[in-house]
Structure 1
Amino acid sequence: MPKGCKFLGLTMATFAGTDGENIRPSVRRLALEMEVSERTVIRALGWLREEEWIAKTRQGNRWLGKTNEYRLVLPPGVLERLHLDPDGEPISDGKVVPIRPSLSDTHVTQTGSESRKSK
């Protein structure tokens, strides 16, 4: 996921209700919050919709002062392709790995300045 899209998703989540719905900030408001251009927000919204991270639940109307409304969603198959390693490398062979494995399941080794988790 591109960094800008990830940041937009997080920003939109701050506007969501407890169920991930009712996200109604304007493109201008999102651009101000993220300190980017409105065009950047529009591109990132398009990417998030195309990749099915958000869904439009209501079409806005500029003339009536109504913004689009969105809800957060998980794309199909996201758990199968989720990478939890900070370096972006898969840390299992296609298996879903717990976010916080117990200490008895893993140990940390260091190689130079780089640390890696292994089983």
Structure 2
Amino acid sequence: MTAQPVDEWVEGPQPAATFEWQRIIRRLSDEAIQADRVKGSTVKLVAVMLATYADPDGSRVYPSDARLSRVCLLSLSSTNRAKNWLVANGFLQMSKQGNRYTGQANEYRLTLPVNLLELKLLNPNEDHAEGMA
């Protein structure tokens, strides 16, 4: 098996394995999650819960919004705001549109944003924030 070349000029979010993605989400500081209508703790809860539905390679994440809301013990609107933040900031990418008439949820993929190195993250020991921002 031959290794594939890595493109130096990446345009969008890059796929991430579930374990790697969870470690990054865990390290997100509250400053990194600067959202008007959603708390950092809500974003992290929804993110970690979404990861439990993912395959090891970070693909095939498809709990319905209602199911995700129930398991997170959050309102549907809070869950959707958190999920929308993850999508807007490059941590989650829709890979397949669902069909509400047949009861199929949207399918997502765990991703890492292009600006990851600019975000305020806790250090690898998870005790102090670091980053270029």
Structures share a fold, TM > 0.5?
A: yes
Rounded to whole Å, the distance in 1 between the matches of 2:58 and 2:74 is 24
* Letter of the structure 2 residue corresponding to residue 46 of structure 1: N
The structural deviation recorded for 1:80 is: 4.1
Q: Are positions 1:31 and 2:66 aligned together?
A: no
Q: Are positions 1:59 and 2:97 aligned together?
A: yes
Query: Considering only aligned residues, what root-mean-square deviation do their CA atoms show, in Å?
Result: 1.8
Aligned to 1:116: none
In the superposition, the TM-score normalised over structure 2's length comes to 0.63
Rounded to whole Å, the distance in 1 between the matches of 2:119 and 2:43 is 17
Aligned pair count?
A: 92
Aligned to 2:119: 81
- Unaligned runs of 5+ residues in structure 2 are 1-32, 34-39
Secondary structure of 2:62's partner?
coil
Asked whether the equivalents of residues 93 and 110 of structure 2 are also in contact (C-alpha less than 8 Å), the reply is yes
Cα 1:21–1:35 change in 2 (3 A) is same
- Structure showing greater Rg: 1
The structural deviation recorded for 1:65 is: 1.0
- 1:22 paired residue among 33, 39, 60: 60
Identity of aligned residues (%): 34
Aligned to 1:48: 86
